[in-house]
Structure formats: C-alpha cells, structure tokens
Amino acid sequence: MIKVRIPTPLRPMTGGKNEVEIAGNSVAEILENLGSAHPGIKERICDDEGEVRRFINIYVNEEDIRFLTGKETPLKEGDEVSIIPAIAGGR
C-alpha cells in the first residue's frame, strides 16, 4: 500500500483524512484506485483527458512526477505520493 497525502480542499472527499493508503504500482494506478475508493476525487485532480490539472503538482517522496516519468512513475512499498495544489491567493 502507498501512503497518499490529500490536500485540504480535497479532504471532504476522504472523510476528512489527510492521508489514505491506496494500492497501486504507478501514479496512474494510484489515481485510478483513489478515484474508486473516494468517488469524485480523481475528477478534481485530473481533467477530462486524464491529465493532471494545471494547478496541481504530484510528488513521489520529494520529487515532482514531471521530473520522474509522469503518471507512469513506478511506485514501491514505502513510497509516498503527495497531491499538492500550487500556491494561490487573492485580495
């Protein structure tokens, strides 16, 4: 199982949990299985084409998956996936 960190805005969809354990051998599988376990959450992270939305970064441990092999990035026991919205704000 892989530990997946859930950002504050998505926690209502995981029953308030900031971390969930999800099975999967790649980031793509984690996103798929996360979506099955918590309906609606995958649509918040990925667009209709399945691409990660432009305001979200996904990290495996401390590295952004864009600098690994994207959604195909393989995962092993002990890895941690973090879903992180980029900084925003306003007036």
Partner 1 sequence: MFYIPSGLIQDMIAHARELAPHECCGILAGTNQTVAENYRITNILATMSEQELSRFEGAKLSDLQRLSPEERADIAFQMDAREMAMAQRAIRAKDHELLGFYHSHTFSPARPSQTDITIAMEFESYRTKLNLPAPLHLIVSLEHPDTPDIRAYRIMDSQATEVSIQPISAS
User: Does residue 29 interact with partner 1 by CB under 8 A?
Assistant: no
Q: How far is the CB of 89 from partner 1 (least distance, A)?
A: 4
Residue 83's beta-bridge partner residues? 58
Q: CA 23 to CA 11: how far, in whole Å?
A: 19
Q: How far is the CB of 42 from partner 1 (least distance, A)?
A: 13
Q: How far is the CB of 10 from partner 1 (least distance, A)?
A: 9
Q: CA 45 to CA 47: how far, in whole Å?
A: 7
CB contact set of 2 (below 8 Å; sequence gap of 6+): 21, 22, 23, 24, 30, 75, 77, 79, 80, 81
The correct pick among 66, 69, 72, 74 for binding partner 1 (CB under 8 A) is 66
Binding site for partner 1 (CB under 8 A): 5, 7-9, 18, 43-44, 52-57, 59, 62, 64, 66-67, 80, 82, 84-91
